[in-house]
Amino acid sequence: MISRTTLGARVRRCLTVTLLGTAVLAVSAGLATPASAQPRPLPDNPNRVVSIDDELLEPRASTAGAPLRFATRIGRANDTPDSQTWAQRRGRLGGTFALVHTPSIAAAGVQLCADVEGDSREAGARLVLRPCDGTDSQLWRPLGGGSGPRFLQNVQSELNMERVPGGVVQNDFAPREEPERSNNQLFSVSPKSFGIGGA
Amino acid sequence: MRRDTRAGAAAALLVLALGTGCGQGSATPPVPLPAVETAAPTAEPLSRPGPVQLALARTALGETLTSDGRTLYRFEADSADPPRSICENDCLEVWPPVLSDGSPVSLDGAIDRSLVGTIQRSDGTTQVTLGGWPLYWFVDDKTPGDVTGEGVGGNWSAVGDDGKPLVRK
């Protein structure tokens, strides 16, 4: 029998993880079906946030070429601004998705996606905003078991998204001696409405 | 009544919280998803310079611009004025450009010759344009009439005889 107090604490402690985890599960289940050849693309999962700790993925500017970074979440849940949200768009390959920056969709101009600078396959290459072109360097595959945060592997380079000071790069899996680096490769992709943090 | 609903929701969350093993560390080992296709490496360029013929064909989207029997697309992130392609690197593997060997582009069907042009790509090759828009095939189109590149990534459009998108974005 778990006491009421213990239970309450445990729920509070796990609530964030569970909510994010459930979202990731739901999202990856939806993406697991291979894309079939059809002229009309399937609808996006709009208004997603890519989070790690209390930070969200955002570009330094809403323009092509702008480097990506993780920054403190602005606002809570549905108040999160478009500049910190992305549409998850099914990729050409099953189980993969592109991240389309929300302001570029709203502007009805050229849509901008999270991409690897110069389409590099090298570890350490930075991530930038580029016009969505439907290519593998703009596709991400969630890796990792369980319901927690996932590695986000770039489909072309097979390197993982990693938070580094001042920016975001692609990098290989961290060896066991570098758990801190590994932790900087684990992200949740979830509806912004599930967010709890915020400044 | 309202109280009951909230209690029910709380209980559901509780079950979720207890059932997801959230006491575990966050660094879960990587487990690749099964049955994910990988793009085959391209041994040779998908398009190489040659004589180009533009034609029109009936597809699910309407009267569609084609070359070599395959649907042609434009990239909305390119520009028509001045004509410019920003599709580089892996973009060219998925979207082979229509490359000319410099001989006049031949036209089959009601295509306005004054709309046809070319641009010099950064690698020195010559890409055919219509209405100023550089033209590309899509690697996943396999048979005539396929328009699977329409809307891919949000910025690719199958075009008509005037080089304009057949589907309004």
Strand B106-108 with B53-59, pairing: parallel
pLDDT averaged over chain B?
A: 81
Pick from A133, A33, A46, A143: nearest CA to A88: A46
Q: Best of B15, B36, B156 to disrupt the A interface by mutation (most A CBs within 10 Å)?
A: B36
> Is A55 in a helix, a strand, or coil?
strand
Q: How close, in Å, is residue A160 to chain B by CA atoms?
A: 11
Q: Among A110, A119, A179, select the one facing B155 at the smallest CB separation.
A: A110
What's the pLDDT band for A152 if we cut at 50, 70, 90? very high
pTM of the model: 0.74
pLDDT score of B41: 44
Higher local confidence (pLDDT), B26 or A182:
A182
How much is the average pLDDT of B146-163? 95
ipTM score of the complex?
0.73
Whole-angstrom distance, CA of residue A49 vs CA of residue B156: 25
Pick from B99, B95, B97, B76: nearest CA to B149: B95
Higher local confidence (pLDDT), A138 or A16:
A138
Specify whether the CB–CB gap between A92 and A35 falls below 8 A: yes
Q: Best of A90, A135, A178 to disrupt the B interface by mutation (most B CBs within 10 Å)?
A: A135
Q: Among B20, B38, B153, select the one facing A133 at the smallest CB separation.
A: B153
Tell me the residues of chain B between 116 and 145 that have a Cβ less than 8 Å away from chain A: 140
Given the structure tokens 């450009």, which residue do they identify?
Answer: B97
Given the structure tokens 């905003």, which residue do they identify?
Answer: A129
What is the 8-class DSSP label of residue A44? P
Question: What values do phi and psi take at B83, rounded to 5?
Answer: -60, 125
Tell me the residues of chain B between 41 and 100 that have a Cβ less than 8 Å away from chain A: 60-61, 75-77, 86-91, 93-95
Whole-angstrom distance, CA of residue A172 vs CA of residue B28: 15
Within an 8 Å CB–CB cutoff, is residue A16 touching chain B?
Answer: no
Given the structure tokens 């041994």, which residue do they identify?
Answer: B43
Strand A186-191 with A150-154, pairing: antiparallel
How much is the average pLDDT of B56-85? 96
Whole-angstrom distance, CA of residue B129 vs CA of residue B135: 6
Whole-angstrom distance, CA of residue A198 vs CA of residue A55: 9
pLDDT score of B40: 45
**CA separation (Å) from B159 to B1, B76, B153?**
58, 11, 16
Q: Is the peptide bond before B82 cis (omega within 30 degrees of 0)?
A: yes
Task: Tell me, rounded to whole angstroms, the distance of Cα B3 from its chain centroid.
Answer: 51
How much is the average pLDDT of A123-133? 97
Whole-angstrom distance, CA of residue B21 vs CA of residue A54: 21
Higher local confidence (pLDDT), A1 or B65:
B65
Pick from A6, A2, A20: nearest CA to A77: A20
Over residues A24-43, the pLDDT tens digits come to: 444 444 443 333 344 445 67
> Is B1 in a helix, a strand, or coil?
coil
* Identity of the residue numbered B27: A
pLDDT score of B1: 40
* Identity of the residue numbered A197: G
Whole-angstrom distance, CA of residue B44 vs CA of residue B38: 18
pLDDT score of A196: 57
- Residue B10: pLDDT above 80? no
